[in-house]
Structure 1
Amino acid sequence: MTKAEVGATRSLLSKVPEVTVWFWIIKILCTTVGETFADWINNSLGFGLFVTALLFTVVLAAVLIWQLRSKRYVPFVYWLTVVVVSVTGTLYTDILTDKLSVPLAVSTSVFAVALAVVFGIWFARERTLSIHSIFTLPRELFYWLAVLVTFALGTAAGDWTLTLTGWGPGTSVLLPVGLILAVVVGWRLGANAVLSFWLAYILTRPLGANLGDWFASPAADHGLGVGTALTSVIFLAAILAVVVYLTRSRRDVIDDAQQSRVPTVTTANPARERIMLGYYVVVAALAGALLVWASAQPHAVAASDEEAGPVSTAMAPGEAAAHFPASEVATFRTITQDTLSKVQAGQQNEAKARIKDLETAWDRDQDTLQPMDKAGWGVLDGKIDSVLKAVRAGTPDAATETGALTNLLAALE
């Protein structure tokens, strides 16, 4: 390698932060913001998932270009990219689950395979997956693609866990915390450092998301009741504070002397790594057994759109909407009645367009209505979900649409 190539390598290496405790603190903060900020833009501001995802895809492209064009590691640019990737990855998973009705088990499996493919191609081409070996543009592109997929995978796996177990926001934090601690123990005992890094990186996503849900969820749902907007502000402020500290202290900057000693291939004890790989397999098996056991226990329906439907028979007509403002209920009824009229007139495209208004209004009012009556909100949310699926079906059935819309009208009396 020539002196010019060495200089270029070191310049690019300095764009990647050192993996210190600060790295993991800010990573968890970023994942929390990814969960709450996406919910706030989508639900509270009423943009809707597709518009929000498109917006953040454009923003992601812009900040990623900024990051790739930077000559050195700049904390603000790097962590801004992570925040935007976090939000975008979350939105992609939410679209699959909430809009395309892809089961969480399927989306989790798809993203797991996608991540394996990214890592496989990356390793086949570069012979390493180490964060400290990113000194070419292809490796940096592989790195950011892997980061995006880990956020999507972490979101899907975390939501699937909640659906299976019915755990509340506070309880759900414990599983990723326990698994991260197990990874730390494995790394300390000689597990492959690169494997340990990426396992921890994936697990910080459900941890951060669960923290965000815990802060944002109302007290009735065993949350802290802070709300998505204020939670986003709190964690964004924390990220900014840490970034300012890192910018001033340069605690996570790999200097030239460190860079010259960073190996591109891990040289740990292969026998110890194989033993610890078995340890990770055991940990994964135990976590799976815990989820199977928890899913078999009686628990409340998880707070997911797909699972809201079964509780819809628990209330008499009109009871679900009894504690909500009459003006809001009237708006929902008007939109529902308009959609029903269009379905009965055979105006399917117009019905799809009109039902979008109901989805937008309902999502916008979630933060206000859900704390008023959690049970009532869950009933209506399930019925609205059934209506959306019926009207947006690939081959709509007029009888199914009419039944779903009529049931919703009865609940909104």
Structure 2
Amino acid sequence: MKTEHHEIVSKVPEVTLIFWIIKIFATTVGETAGDLVSMAMNIGYLISSIIFAVIFLTVVSFQINARTFNVFIYWSTIIATTTLGTTIADFTDRSLGIGYAGGSTLLLVLLMLSLFIWRNSLGSVSIQQIRSPKAEMFYWITILFSQTLGTALGDWVADTEGLGYATSALLFSAVLISIAIVYFTTAVSHTVLFWAAFIFTRPLGAVVGDFLDKPVAEGGLALSHLGITSLLLTLMLILIFSFKQRAARLSH
């Protein structure tokens, strides 16, 4: 009897410098696009979250059902998580009145719970072990929580703590540089550092996005939500076309 073998391939990209650069662009797009729909178009956080949730569920289904790594589907899904994360965080922090500290704490608990269940269920939260639809679902749920947490954390530091958008961007950049130094100079788990970096690129994108589109009186540049979102998406596409990304290697 002939046995058919199916090769298991990764559908997430290899983690390189260009991956992190595109990720920061994607998180910034998520902030400006989320603000464009919820605030500039005056749709509100709840309706905007429903719209972005439908978009997220659509693109993540394409991602999970894809047979191989597709750079455009992958990054579309990342943008969907970051725009949905923006409006969910704003709805939780502002509309529900939980506040930035309360929202950040709640989202941190949900993120840690997602990682804990994933680890207990499949034995690893490493991207080199994402070899099944179940692992992919854990991956995207965790990413959604991380993007939402990052939004709340960015707003908390910039607004509540009064650091402002520019200073907050420098702070989060310093955190990411520190994570990179630890990555290259210590034996700390690369999986732990990956998720730490993934979480902290989001508040960096959030405060950069706010710096670009918030009113001058609030410390921003008051650039057009639509204009800056379009520009960031264009720059992302240029990076994607200019630098070929490979699928991550799966560990045995």
Q: Distance in 1 between matches of 2:4 and 2:83?
A: 38
Contact 1:218 1:227 in 2 (8 A): no
**Corresponding position of 1:253:** 246
User: Aligned pair 1:164/2:160, yes or no?
Assistant: yes
- Give the alignment partner of residue 117 of structure 1, picking from 93, 113, 117: 113
Q: Distance in 2 between matches of 1:107 and 1:175?
A: 20
Gaps of 5+ in 1: 265-413
Contact 2:100 2:160 in 1 (8 A): no
Shift of 1:206: 0.5
**Corresponding position of 2:143:** 147
User: Aligned pair 1:9/2:5, yes or no?
Assistant: no
Contact 2:158 2:207 in 1 (8 A): no
TM-score, normalization by structure 1: 0.58
TM-score, normalization by structure 2: 0.93
**Mapping 1:4-83, distance limit 5 Å:** 7-10=6-9, 13=10, 15-83=11-79
1:9 alignment partner, SS class: coil
1:8 alignment partner, SS class: coil
1:101 alignment partner, SS class: coil
User: Aligned pair 1:108/2:96, yes or no?
Assistant: no
**Corresponding position of 1:181:** 177
Shift of 1:4: 5.3
**Corresponding position of 1:204:** 201
Q: Distance in 1 between matches of 2:85 and 2:239?
A: 23
Q: Distance in 1 between matches of 2:146 and 2:88?
A: 12
User: Aligned pair 1:97/2:93, yes or no?
Assistant: yes
Contact 1:216 1:228 in 2 (8 A): yes
Contact 2:49 2:87 in 1 (8 A): yes
Contact 1:214 1:224 in 2 (8 A): yes
Shift of 1:29: 0.5
Contact 2:14 2:246 in 1 (8 A): yes
Shift of 1:162: 2.0
Q: Distance in 2 between matches of 1:219 and 1:157?
A: 22
Q: Deviations over 1:141-162 (max 9, x none)?
A: 0000000000111111111112
Instruction: Specify whether residues 230 and 92 from structure 1 end up closer, same or farther in structure 2 by C-alpha distance, changes over 3 A only.
Output: same
**Mapping 1:329-340, distance limit 5 Å:** none
Q: Distance in 1 between matches of 2:93 and 2:71?
A: 33
Identity level (%):
31
Letter aligned with residue 197 of structure 1: F
Q: Deviations over 1:53-83 (max 9, x none)?
A: 1111111111111111111111111000100
Instruction: Specify whether residues 50 and 210 from structure 1 end up closer, same or farther in structure 2 by C-alpha distance, changes over 3 A only.
Output: same
- Give the alignment partner of residue 229 of structure 1, picking from 220, 226, 229: 226
- Give the alignment partner of residue 251 of structure 2, picking from 250, 255, 263: 263
Contact 2:93 2:102 in 1 (8 A): no
Q: Deviations over 1:183-219 (max 9, x none)?
A: 1111112221000000000000010111111111334
Letter aligned with residue 43 of structure 1: M
- Counting matched residue pairs gives 249
Greater relative contact order (Cα < 8 A, sep 6+): 2
Q: Deviations over 1:225-257 (max 9, x none)?
A: 3232221111111112222234xxx3x213xxx
Shift of 1:165: 2.1
